[in-house]
Amino acid sequence: MSSLPVLVLNSGSSSIKFAVYEAGNGERRKLHEGAVDGIGTDLGKFWIKDAEGNKLVDQTPALPNRAVAFALVADALHSGDFPAPVAIGHRMVSGGPTVQENQRITPELIDEMESYTAFAPLHTPIAVYIMREALRLFPGIPNFVILDTYFHRTMPEVVTHMPIPPEYAAMGVRRYGAHGISYESIVYQLQPDVPRKLIVAHLGNGASISAIRDGKCLDTSMGLTPTGGIISGTRTGDIDPGVLLFILRKIAETAESASAAADQLETVASKKAGLLGVSELSNDMRDLRDAIKAGNAKARLAVDKFTWTIAKWIGSYVAELGGLDMLVFTGGIGENDIASRAEICAGLGALGIVLDPVRNNVRGEALISAENSPVTVRVIPPAEDLIIVNHVVRLMGA
């Protein structure tokens, strides 16, 4: 009986989330989870809970930067109070065109993935920073990169190829998709009865939707970067390229350099648009729902754009799949926002999607379609950590 504690790392702009799983002897048992939150502030949060939810660490340290934040995690896991990890799995949004397989991390691999930062500009700098720190602070332990793009590698060329001149396609510009680990986890949870024709809507702060045939990705809404696809918290989603050119020309009138103008355009399209841009209020669905109740018309428009876009996308994926057996909602909004699910599905009766309002009045895992609905509709929370651990164990064996 050998113990195999695996550390899973998932880093965001202001937080590092982590969990340790016992993965020896085929087990997949969460031992601890924790987070360092509020990076860049004087009053951060650092906590670790056991599997029963008891807080074993609960601190409010100053977190001037990411280095301090990650050192707290490394120190805690080296303290002897917790099982020290024997392997680490890193979630990575995109490794670029040359890194398509989940694999062991080397310094050279990090450099290679970093050279494709433009493919996930908001995520890659943070992820590669944490990878370098993990190699330094956990010496001798194998680290693995687990890619969100991996699940989407089965998409056919007609889906991945972008209608652009060949010199840009040759640079790796194509559809990669994102949220792949979440999608993989939904398919995993549906086994052994994975429906032949499946649509999964991952609706979180970032939102995307995938068409999945026989458990394999056929199409997904995000493109080269997570900014494409459906409108989400702060991102435009797919948009007439002329709009970006219009904004770029406006920005260029006062920008100091071409690269400064590009950075500003990126901020507009990725951080100031989407639900936030339309509502002029918030990217958070809970705030928007409160504002709608108070009669805020801009919040109403933002949420209508969100649900309308998703409904349209579902329609196109039903056409692409040649029918539909199951629709799954996941992600923070998909799991919790009862109204969004109802509004998305309201006009989809002609596609065989009929919700039961009583069943839909729920948060978390549930069957929410009506008894007589031709399409089954479910809410399934993602199990991304589990997928990362599975890949790590598989790669350690390899």
Site residues (vs ligand ADP, CB under 6 A): 204-206, 233, 284-286, 331-333, 336-337
CB of 302 to ligand ADP, least distance (A): 11
Is there a cis peptide before residue 192, judged by omega within 30 degrees of 0? yes
Nearer to ligand ADP, 34 or 204 (CB): 204
Q: The tokens of 220 are what?
A: 């997904």
Nearer to ligand ADP, 45 or 196 (CB): 45
Nearer to ligand ADP, 76 or 178 (CB): 178
Rounded distance between C-alpha atoms, residue 150 and residue 384, angstroms: 13
CB of 385 to ligand ADP, least distance (A): 13
CB of 222 to ligand ADP, least distance (A): 12
Give the residue from 5, 35, 37, 10 showing the smallest Cα distance to 21.
5
Residue burial 122-157, b: 16+ Cβ < 10 Å; e: rest:
bbbebbbbbbbbbbebbeeebbbbbbbbbbbeebee
CB of 11 to ligand ADP, least distance (A): 12
Nearer to ligand ADP, 88 or 203 (CB): 203
CB of 260 to ligand ADP, least distance (A): 28
Is 148 among the catalytic positions? yes
Rounded distance between C-alpha atoms, residue 36 and residue 18, angstroms: 9
DSSP state of 116: T
CB of 333 to ligand ADP, least distance (A): 4
**Exactly one of 148, 219, 337, 385 is catalytic; which is it?**
148
Rounded distance between C-alpha atoms, residue 80 and residue 76, angstroms: 8
The 3-state DSSP class for residue 343 equals: helix
Nearer to ligand ADP, 143 or 279 (CB): 279
Rounded distance between C-alpha atoms, residue 128 and residue 70, angstroms: 13
Residues 6+ apart with CB under 8 A from 370: 354, 355, 356, 359
Which single residue brings its beta carbon nearest to ligand ADP?
A: 332
Rounded distance between C-alpha atoms, residue 190 and residue 187, angstroms: 5
Nearer to ligand ADP, 136 or 286 (CB): 286
DSSP state of 78: H
**Residue type at 327?**
L
Task: Tell me the H-state helices in 232-284.
Answer: 241-252, 258-271, 274-279
Calculate ∠ Cα 295-297-300, nearest 5°: 95
**Residues belonging to the active site:** 148
